[in-house]
Amino acid sequence: MNDVERTAVTTATWPAVGAEPAPALQVEALVKSFPGGRRVIDGLDLTVAAGEAVALIGANGTGKSTLLRMAVRLVEPDSGAIRLFGEDVCAARGRTLSRLRSRVGFVFQKHNLVTRLSALSNVVHGVQARRSGPRTWHQAWARRVDREEAMACLEAVGLADRAMQTVGSLSGGQSQRVAIARMLMQRPELVLADEPDASLDPRAGEEIMGLLARLARDKGLGLVFVSHHMEHAVGFSDRVVGLAGGRVALDRPAAGTDPALLEAFFDGPQATERVVPLRRVAMGAAS
Amino acid sequence: MTPSTLRTGLPARFERPPVSRAVLLVAAMAFLAWAFAGSGLDAGKLARGIPAVGSILDRMIPPSLERLDSILLSLLVTFQMAVAGCVLGLVLSLPLAVLAADGLSPHPLVRVAARGLIALFRTVPDLVWALLFVIAVGLGPAAGVLAIMVDTIGFAARFFAEAMEETDKGPREALTALGARRLGLIASAVVPDAMPAFVATSLFCLEKATRASVVLGLVGAGGIGVELKVAFDLFDYDTASTIILVVFALVVLVEQAGAFLRRRLI
Ligand SMILES: Nc1ncnc2c1ncn2[C@@H]1O[C@H](COP(=O)(O)OP(=O)(O)OP(=O)(O)O)[C@@H](O)[C@H]1O
Ligand SMILES: [Mg+2]
């Protein structure tokens, strides 16, 4: 499988023309509790259509990160079903799991880059989604095509001039751009971003969110991002989903939603129902 | 609040030692007395020994330069032995450390086995390894190289494993999330992150190997230790002092070079 490269990001593995593409992410009756803790996720259902941009909001500790991490099995769910592109994530192991993971780009709040290596090396690492071996470990001995693609990814995030700088010497905003470039290098079909705008100043945070949303839209990728900025949640998504009590407690189109109104969601479920009409998620519903 | 209003009362400054502690103290004294009794050290021996050391020192000065070239030659062999054994050990340490590191090891049983092997290499002293390898491969530097290799693994693999366990989990997780295989994850995220610790440990190992290589000759595993033993056996104390001085110079040189490289590389 290693040498079989997916050529086009958007068309790969999609069913034949005419058929409805499988939802990018499909979660059913998901349950997760940590040892000694309450149920963080408690019977959650959520469907994200291919190419859809969904903002995930919710108070601290409502399990947003846990949900995203379970989607690629960085955390094991207790029960329930998770499907990526129609394939069962929970049943996958070994190479099947690696291959499923490789189709999902994950952007972390803390960037999770190798700080002692250059930006370019970090982006080159993204190629490990398709291929393994020593030539994917460092830019210095990477294949020419990979170096070229990595530079193109850095150009896409506006950091081509910093390619050889070590990530540890970059600013927070720049280093999150490198993380996005690595994610692009991966050629994903779905992007999961856990507070990509956190720990950045308001300006840089908005730029990063804008960049991520634009890249996802241009390449037709699905996007699920967590944000505590309601303007970002509304401004960069098609749909806003709010978690409370381990379930989806709010689900509405972003268009026409007032960010100030969403703030009320954090005052508790009662307040939410008063201010924002609830809508249950229909399976496979795209916005 | 004035002290008089304290309702709980002041605690005593010192707690009265419980009986168990007194018993423990007596037991510790008895243990020490027992250890000294076994060592055969007594005032008479000390009184006779100190002047004897003085007379040996007297016969060591001035150092004899008669056999300096052959001494330097075997010092060179000693250092070659140290470098070769150390590098072999370091190279083998890395994969063993990966198997022994929590979170990188493919299986808990593999991890336990790797840890056990490293502990065995570490706990058996280098001189004992040298004796074993002298029997296995015969007298000479080859036995010394193997002994230093095993000794280095016992030390370096443990520190390499710890250094890798302490690396940032974030990049590892990011690579896992993008579907990277274990080897890729170790080579591209863990090793670069642990590199400063690897360099520091490796330089320290070289210093340690240099010191060790000197004494290995005493059991026939090659190098300058052989010369030292012969010199002492022949009561050739002025040659022995030359050997001790050049060994001292080599160890100091290696330690200084190590400190310099550490500053430059990390
Ligand atoms: N590895 C873990 N072990 C134990 N408990 C955990 C673990 N990970 C998360 N939790 C708990 O699960 C709950 C949900 O955590 P999670 O990080 O998913 O929340 P979140 O919605 O992302 O919060 P935030 O907005 O602060 O990022 C928290 O109560 C947290 O303490
Ligand atoms: Mg979180």
The answer as to whether B146 is a domain residue is yes
The string of DSSP letters for chain B reads: --GGG-SS-PPPSSPPPPHHHHHHHHHHHHHHHHHHHHHT--HHHHHHHHHHHHHHHHHH-SPP-TTHHHHHHHHHHHHHHHHHHHHHHHHHHHHHHHHHSTTTSS-HHHHHHHHHHHHHHHHS-HHHHHHHHHHHH-SSHHHHHHHHHHHHHHHHHHHHHHHHHTS-HHHHHHHHHTT--HHHHIIIIIHHHHHHHHHHHHHHHHHHHHHHHHHHGGGTSSSHHHHHHHHHHTT-HHHHHHHHHHHHHHHHHHHHHHHHHHHHH-
Distance from CA of B35 to the nearest CA of A (A): 50
**From A265-269, B126-130, B172-176, the region with the lowest mean pLDDT:** A265-269
B90 and B209 in contact (C-beta within 8 Å)? no
What is the rounded distance in angstroms from the CA atom of residue A234 to the CA atom of residue A58?
14
Range of weakest confidence among A95-99, A269-273, B31-35, B79-83: A269-273
Contact status of A110 with chain B (Cβ, < 8 Å)? yes
How high is the mean pLDDT of chain B? 89
User: Over 70: is that where the pLDDT of B185 sits?
Assistant: yes
Q: What is the CATH number of the domain that holds B122?
A: 1.10.3720.10
What are the domain boundaries of chain A?
21-103+190-287, 115-187
The reply to whether B134 falls in a domain is: yes
Higher pLDDT, B59 or A19: B59
pLDDT tens-digit profile, chain A (287 residues): 444 444 444 444 545 555 678 899 999 999 999 998 888 999 999 999 999 999 999 999 899 999 999 999 999 999 999 999 999 998 888 889 999 999 999 999 999 999 999 999 999 999 999 999 999 999 999 999 999 999 999 998 999 999 999 999 999 889 999 999 999 999 999 999 999 988 888 888 898 899 899 999 998 899 999 999 999 999 999 999 999 988 998 999 988 888 888 888 888 654 444 444 444 443 333 33
CB contact under 8 A, B180 and A128: yes
Strands in A230-280 per DSSP E: 239-244, 247-253
Q: Does A102 touch chain B (CB under 8 A)?
A: yes
* Cβ neighbours of B192 in A, within 8 Å: 114, 116-117
Question: Strand, helix or coil at A39?
Answer: strand
**Nearest CB to A72; choose among B177, B183, B192:** B177
Q: Which amino acid is residue B191, in one-letter code?
A: V
Give the ipTM: 0.83
pLDDT at B38: 82
Q: Say how many C-beta atoms besides its own lie within 10 A of residue B182's C-beta.
A: 14
- Assess if residue B180 is contained within a domain: yes
* pLDDT higher than 90, residue B235: no
Max Cα distance, chain B (Å): 86
- Of the candidates A101, A111, A116, the beta carbon closest to that of B178 is on A101
pLDDT for A213: 92
**Residue B30 counted as domain residue:** no
- Are residues A117 and B192, on separate chains, in Cβ contact within 8 Å? yes
Nearest Cα residue in chain A from B192: A116
Q: How close B182 gets to chain A, by Cα (Å)?
A: 10
How far is Cα B240 from Cα B257, in angstroms, rounded to an integer? 26
Q: Domain of B79?
A: 69-265
Q: Is residue B215 domain-resident? A: yes
Which carries the bigger pLDDT value, residue B186 or residue B50?
B186
CATH class of A21-103+190-287: alpha beta
Rounded to whole angstroms, the Cα distance separating B145 from B141 reads 6
Write down the pLDDT at residue A121.
96
Residue A193 burial by CB count (10 A; 0-12/13-18/19+): exposed, middle or buried? buried
Exposed (0-12), middle (13-18) or buried (19+): which is B53, by Cβ within 10 Å? exposed
**Rg of chain B, C-alpha, whole Å:** 26
pTM for this entry:
0.81
Calpha distance A216→A228 (Å, rounded)? 20
More confident residue, B112 or B56: B112
Rounded CA-CA distance B174/B246 in Å is 52
Pocket test for ligand 1, best of A65, A69, A230, A232 (most atoms within 8 A of CB): A65
pLDDT above 70 for B132: yes
3 state SS of A194: strand
Count CB atoms within 10 A of the CB of residue A45.
18
pLDDT surpasses 80 at B166: yes
Chain B residues near residue A100 by CB distance under 8 angstroms: 179
**Domain count within chain B:** 1
Nearest chain B residue to A101 by CA distance is B179
Mutate to test the interface with A, among B178, B186, B193, B199 (most CBs of A within 10 A): B178
